[in-house]
Amino acid sequence: MQGWRTGLWAAVALVLATAAWAGPPRRYEPISPIPLPAAQDPARVALGRQLFLDPILSRDGSVSCGSCHNLAMAGVDGLPHAIGIGGAEERVNTPTVYNAALNLAQFWDGRAASLKEQAGGPVTNPQEMGSRWPDVVARLEHSPYRAAFQRIDGGPPTRRRVEEALASFERTLLTVNSPFDRWLEGDDGAISPEAAQGYALFKSYGCGSCHQGANVGGNMFQRFGFYGNPFARAPRPVDLGRFNVTGREDDRYVFKVPSLRLAVLTPPYFHDGSVRDLATAIRLMGRYQLGRAIPDGDIALIIRFLDTLPGAMTADDDGAAP
């Protein structure tokens, strides 16, 4: 047991030592194409979609999931912080609902392990929909939804069934077939040479170490601020990130790495929505995460690359908030 691990370490050390002197190692592409959604019951997806857009879930009937996760606006609200019922303001920036199914966990601090778990969160959050589950279920009981649940789940609406329907719908929100994905699959003409150059820079600066996978992020947690303090003021509770979930010192200032798939469409940036434009966000990431100053020219090229990441937004018809 101990033996093979020592051996492994020796091998790893050898590889790294070689790497240190032989220039950058051969790298696999850190980004992969977005897969097609898994097959699901279309009726349940439709029900989930209906619920997603219906303010019936909120306490006073003023807010739906779609109010903040505006499907026509790349699944976000475009605001630094979400506005919930009665104008209550959330403390964090709304992440897009698109491609959320690919994330390893939901929320900035990853406190929900799955979409199903997440879907219920905002319903009872006083800053968001401010409801209580028994009330929501009672409202659904006395609505046409009852028949739909009966048909699909063979029973009356329950919290679990509502969450499952919402999650089913959200699992279909994958932005497939982006230019970059086509390029990854061998279509050299799918992106411009500048975008390809931007991608190379993205990788060589090390952005791709964390923003990787199908969702260009979302599959790991990372500390915010290796080089210097990125927080403008003294850290607020929301700045503690995953520490709020695990209570481990190690998780202080650790956040879920956000997806860059729709980054060009979803300003403002960072967990607190404190940065309005993408170039600034990239510059700050370079400074705090990589300890490097990225020249404006490189930033521009990287943005060209990011432009190729969004794919088809399947639910873009009637997604406006009521």
Partner 1 sequence: MMRGYRLPFGLLFLAVLAAMLLASRLALRSGDDASQHTRTIATFDAIARAETDLDRDVLLVAASELPNYDPFVTHGRALEAALDGVEGQVLALGAADSAAAWRQYSVLMARKLSLADRIKRTAAFANNEEAYLPAALDAYAAHGDPVITRALRRVLVLALTVKLPDDLMARLERGLPAATGGGEAAALAQHTRMLAGQRLRLRDAVDAYFQVPSHARMAMARTLYMNAYAARQDSRRRLLKGLILAAGGLLPLLAGLLLLLLRAERQNRHALERLRKLGTAVEQSPIAIMITDADGAIEYVNPQFETITGYAFAEARGKNPRLLKSGRTDPAQFRALWATIRSGMTWQGELINRRKDGTELIEQAVISPIADASGRITHYVGMKQDVTQLRRQEDLLSSVHVDLEQLLFATCHDLQEPARQIATMAQLLEHAVPEGLPEEARFALQAILTESAQLRIFVAGLSEFARAGHSRHAFTDVDLNTLLTALVRDLAGDEEYISLAALPVVPGDPAQLFILFDTLLSNALKFRSPERPLAIAVGACREGDLWRFDIEDNGIGIEARYLPTLIRPFSRLHPRTRYPGSGLGLITALRIARQHNGTLSIRSVPGQGTTVQVWLQGR
Structure tokens at 107: 């929320």
String marking each residue 231-250 x if it binds partner 1 according to CB under 8 A: ---------------x-x-x
Secondary structure (DSSP) of 155-216: S---HHHHHHHHHHHHHT----S-HHHHHHTT-GGGS-HHHHHHHHHHHHHTHHHHS-TTTT
φ and ψ at 234, to 5 degrees? -60, 140
Q: Specify the residue, 22 or 39, whose C-beta has the smaller distance to partner 1.
A: 22
Cβ–Cβ under 8 Å, residues 303 and 198? yes
Structure tokens at 149: 């649940």
* 302 contributes a contact to partner 1 by CB under 8 A: no
Q: Specify the residue, 102 or 140, whose C-beta has the smaller distance to partner 1.
A: 102
Secondary structure percentages of the chain, helix, strand, coil, to 5? 50, 5, 50
Among 113, 138, 232, 320, the residue binding partner 1 under the rule CB under 8 A is 113
Among 88, 290, 314, 321, the residue binding partner 1 under the rule CB under 8 A is 290
Among 58, 64, 219, 308, the residue binding partner 1 under the rule CB under 8 A is 219
With a CB cutoff of 8 Å and minimum separation 6, the contacts of 233 are: none
- Residue of 184, 180, 175, 178 lying closest to 28 (CA atoms): 184
* 38 contributes a contact to partner 1 by CB under 8 A: no
How many residues belong to the site for partner 1 (CB under 8 A)?
48
* 262 contributes a contact to partner 1 by CB under 8 A: no
Task: Report 134-193 residues binding partner 1 (CB under 8 A).
Answer: none
Count of C-beta atoms within a 10 Å radius of residue 176: 16
Count of C-beta atoms within a 10 Å radius of residue 199: 26
Relative orientation angle of helices 159-171 and 115-124, to the nearest 10 degrees = 120
Residue type (1 letter), 203: K
Q: Which stretch binds partner 1 (CB under 8 A): 142-150, 194-202, 209-217, 268-276?
A: 209-217
Residue type (1 letter), 96: T
Among 7, 15, 60, 132, the residue binding partner 1 under the rule CB under 8 A is 15
Closest distance between partner 1 and the C-beta of residue 146, in Å?
A: 29
Cβ–Cβ under 8 Å, residues 109 and 255? yes
Q: Specify the residue, 165 or 257, whose C-beta has the smaller distance to partner 1.
A: 257
Q: For residues 234 and 212, what is the distance between their CA atoms, to the nearest angstrom?
A: 30
Among 74, 195, 254, 313, the residue binding partner 1 under the rule CB under 8 A is 254
Among 214, 262, 263, 285, the residue binding partner 1 under the rule CB under 8 A is 214
Cβ–Cβ under 8 Å, residues 173 and 97? yes
Indicate if 249 belongs to the active site: no
Among 98, 145, 169, 221, the residue binding partner 1 under the rule CB under 8 A is 221
Closest distance between partner 1 and the C-beta of residue 45, in Å?
A: 20
Q: Which stretch binds partner 1 (CB under 8 A): 16-24, 158-166, 167-175, 314-322?
A: 16-24
Cβ–Cβ under 8 Å, residues 146 and 277? no
Determine if residue 292 is left, alpha or beta; phi over 0 gives left, psi from -120 to 50 gives alpha, anything else beta: beta
String marking each residue 73-102 x if it binds partner 1 according to CB under 8 A: -----------------------------x
In the complex, the residues that contact partner 1 under the rule CB under 8 A are 5, 8-9, 11-13, 15-17, 19-21, 23-25, 27-32, 102-104, 113-114, 204-206, 209-210, 212-214, 219-223, 226-227, 246, 248, 250, 254, 290-292
Active site residues: 128
